[in-house]
Chain A
């Protein structure tokens, strides 16, 4: 199916029926490549909606989530998005992210659930003092597992991409999770053609990744072509930061404690990847629009996760997190 795009393929030449699709293409601003990725994702979203009883859309508020929401609108138009939307709130997200989340929820009439690991907060789990490994496990992994169990979701749809990180390169589009949401590499099902195996047992759940085959550049080019709203933190602006261990950390509120030698300063920065503000490193950049970002990405040579302080804890850390149930 999707492989058949573009329709001008090998042997067939530009004759009548292909002319029709060429006209379609001229209306769209998407490249063949993006159009194909878009169709693939729409088909996957509809399969997830049809195959599961209680699917949930994981909403991280980042650019990938924005693209997912947009694809959902396309997939189910003119109906509303048939998924509950879940945000795992660590209480340390950028304020701009929360504002954006609430704006999108209102605009798209989303059924939003916000879940926080309250117990961990009471226990004083802190992004810096507890160390990022403990913090991530408690506030993200355990919080997610808890939310999935409480609401008995049987499938969670997320915006993870295979190009993000080496251990993701073998992730399935429909990825089965065992009891306690653990990911067992041995039990990964081969995924052939566009036939997605959605069968799960009572103690299993599914993760669904419609953007598996997208790269970071694809995501931004799609955002540009489709004019998709994203959190303003992706765009360069003078923001208060502190330099810490070679990274620029934004001072988003008064909770960030500065050491005596640390100085608050204003820098022209933006983020390539958003998360908890004390753990997200900014990049110095003057890309102030989506077009600027696309241009920057075509020349830049740093991976987006370079700014994520949670991946560098230990080798193979992402894989370990996943086996514990991290998204």
Chain B
């Protein structure tokens, strides 16, 4: 029983991992049962279920207690992590229980991201497996610094001390190349409870703590190698004194009233005048506390900003290198724009280069052009505006980010910042006296990018050609950019894989942008199959400047036209990655102009575009 007020009671978040039959459920279930954390009614139900469905003979089958969702069992899917709770008088435990079989990388990374400690199970009889090595490497990458190796099923090796010593020695040798601070090992029999909560009577040679004793006493490691103070601004509110208060939390270090702070992104400095923690005003706050801070000066600060002490500011950059773990079925594509979330800041980000993949078993670099689910890669990323961060190895809270798929909203990638790239900060945009509006005025026209998207053979180029002639007759300066033409030059190095298509459209968008900047009306014909990339191109242009034209032709009609014989080749299995056949086309949701090509002749459709451009005041004569 714990004392009524046990202020010293802390908590440990740990991850339990192991291969399928290593006995993880039995171990966690036993820890919960023996600390009195399983209510009697659930325990009775468990005993009942064990008799009916159990796979453990006369013993309680704890796997049934921890078993997941009906949907998982029926559909054979795995939801990454289940959380378990148990506690003793000294400590509360939050266990991230990750399934050992499928998608181990994704699941383990998710579980490890919030853990301070890991319990790694191995089977005494099989010893270390490839899985053990993978698990260790992921734990190391995610910044877990203390681990416990539980060598289970010791009864199957006659509870032999020598056997345990051999496995432990092997393990220590292996993990020496990783970055753990502390590695402990305990011989156990989870099924019978040896060395779980009570010392084993069969392994008297083992003098160390039981698993529970170890969990209760292991220091709650903060991971933070660096205790530099960081305060994350969540929102700006009005305080009692009528001033501006910054509501947020301290992720590392501490702040005192009177401290000089720097706002990381802007570099502006000020002094902390007040700190509020409901219901009172206090002098200082430390890591793990939420508070509202008031500053002495009027400084422009918004959600997403980080305060630091002025002598230890985080890095600020819009390009950086990072390890990225991919979590989604849609592969990571360099060049594609994702939404990046770091701390309380959200920005758009692109992987500018995938340097290499990482083999999770050997740790060796592999060649990679995309990352599939469960892959780990080392990448350069660029954000649309600078972000503040610390290297992940120094600070887990300011060095971790997620990448969100902008189309589906899925959390697609998990990233850990390694170091900033300062290339962009050396570049300063040159501004010239003669600018876009001047050039446009000289031509007496309004620059625009008219972007025709649609299936191959939908009629994009045909209509574009007619539109350009009509514009020229009105004296409007135009330029036509065409997918095929660009691929003969600038994009000669690109193929038709998903990754190359993304880059193809990105480059085309940049060229169009330069030409619009020159004051032209740029007509672009690109299949540009993905919504995400068309959206990225749109975002690179001024508002109202990008006009999306959906050339909407049914696939069957495109196939009968097929002037390049592309569909025929695809159907014959002689061409791959043909949009509409074995590569997807995502139609625009809200195009500025929607041409249903079956409703008119090419000339009528071109007139429809002209009419729309006139309505939009792109054509004023």
Residues of A participating in the B interface, judged by any CB pair closer than 8 Å: 1-7, 9-12, 17-18, 20-21, 24-25, 27, 29-33, 35-39, 42-43, 46-47, 49-50, 73-79, 162-163, 166-167, 169-170, 176, 185-195, 197, 199-201, 204, 212-213, 215, 217-218, 225, 291, 294-295, 298-303, 306, 315-316, 319-320, 323
Contact = CB atoms under 8 A, between A and B. Distances in A.
B214 interface: no
A21 B285 CA distance: 7
Given A185-B79, A189-B411, A199 B400 contact: no
B278 interface: yes
Contact of B396 (A5, A25, A193): A193
B402 A169 contact: no
Most chain B beta-carbon neighbours within 10 Å: one of A24, A35, A73, A187:
A24
B356 to A, nearest CB: 22
A1 B114 contact: no
A190 B402 CA distance: 10
B296 to A, nearest CB: 19
A192 B39 contact: no
Interface residues of B, number: 100
A11 B225 CA distance: 9
A149 B409 CA distance: 21
Given A31-B9, A213-B94, A193 B42 contact: no
A169 B84 contact: yes
A291 B4 contact: yes
Contact of A46 (B11, B69, B247, B409): B247
Contacts of B402: 192-193, 195, 197
B303 interface: yes
A90 B282 CA distance: 44
A280 B5 CA distance: 31
B67 interface: yes
Given A12-B222, A189-B411, A303 B288 contact: no
Contacts of B276: 77-78
Interface of B: 1-2, 4-11, 13, 36, 39-43, 65-72, 75, 77, 79-85, 87, 91-92, 94, 106, 109-110, 113-114, 116, 145-146, 219-224, 227, 232, 234-235, 237-240, 247-254, 256, 276, 278-279, 282-290, 292, 303, 327, 339, 341-344, 396-397, 400-402, 404, 406, 409-411, 414
B254 A316 contact: no
Contacts of B410: 187, 189
Contact of B10 (A2, A12, A32, A166): A32
21 contacts: A1-B251, A4-B224, A7-B288, A21-B254, A21-B289, A24-B286, A35-B289, A42-B249, A50-B234, A166-B68, A169-B83, A188-B80, A189-B411, A190-B411, A192-B414, A197-B402, A197-B411, A215-B85, A301-B40, A301-B43, A316-B70
Contacts of B400: 192-193, 195
Contact of B327 (A2, A190, A204, A213): A190
B235 A78 contact: no
B282 A24 contact: yes
Most chain B beta-carbon neighbours within 10 Å: one of A33, A37, A79:
A33
B7 A298 contact: no
A306 B220 contact: no
A19 to B, nearest CB: 10
Given A1-B397, A4-B252, A302-B41, A204 B409 contact: yes
B235 A301 contact: no
Chain A at the B interface: mostly helix, strand, loop or mixed? helix
A213 B39 CA distance: 18
A79 B238 CA distance: 8
A183 to B, nearest CB: 9
Nearest to B11: A33
Given A7-B254, A7-B287, A302-B40, A188 B79 contact: yes
A213 B83 contact: yes
A163 B7 contact: no
Chain B at the A interface: mostly helix, strand, loop or mixed? mixed
Given A4-B251, A162-B83, A306-B41, A10 B279 contact: no
B234 A36 contact: no
Nearest to A9: B222
Contacts of A186: 71, 75, 77
B253 to A, nearest CB: 7
Contacts of B339: 199
A76 B236 CA distance: 10
B116 to A, nearest CB: 5
B401 A39 contact: no
Contacts of B406: 199
Contacts of B287: 1, 4-5, 7, 21
Contacts of A199: 339, 404, 406, 409
B327 A31 contact: no
A83 B538 CA distance: 35
Most chain A beta-carbon neighbours within 10 Å: one of B67, B253, B396, B411:
B411
A316 B10 CA distance: 33
B10 A33 contact: yes
- Top 7 closest A-B pairs, CB basis? A5-B288, A1-B251, A10-B219, A303-B39, A21-B286, A4-B287, A301-B40
B246 to A, nearest CB: 11
Contacts of A11: 219, 221
A303 B9 CA distance: 23
A15 to B, nearest CB: 10
A13 to B, nearest CB: 11
A39 B279 contact: no
Given A4-B252, A215-B85, A47 B341 contact: no
Nearest to B64: A166
A166 B109 CA distance: 22
Contact of A9 (B2, B81, B91, B220): B220
A17 B256 CA distance: 10
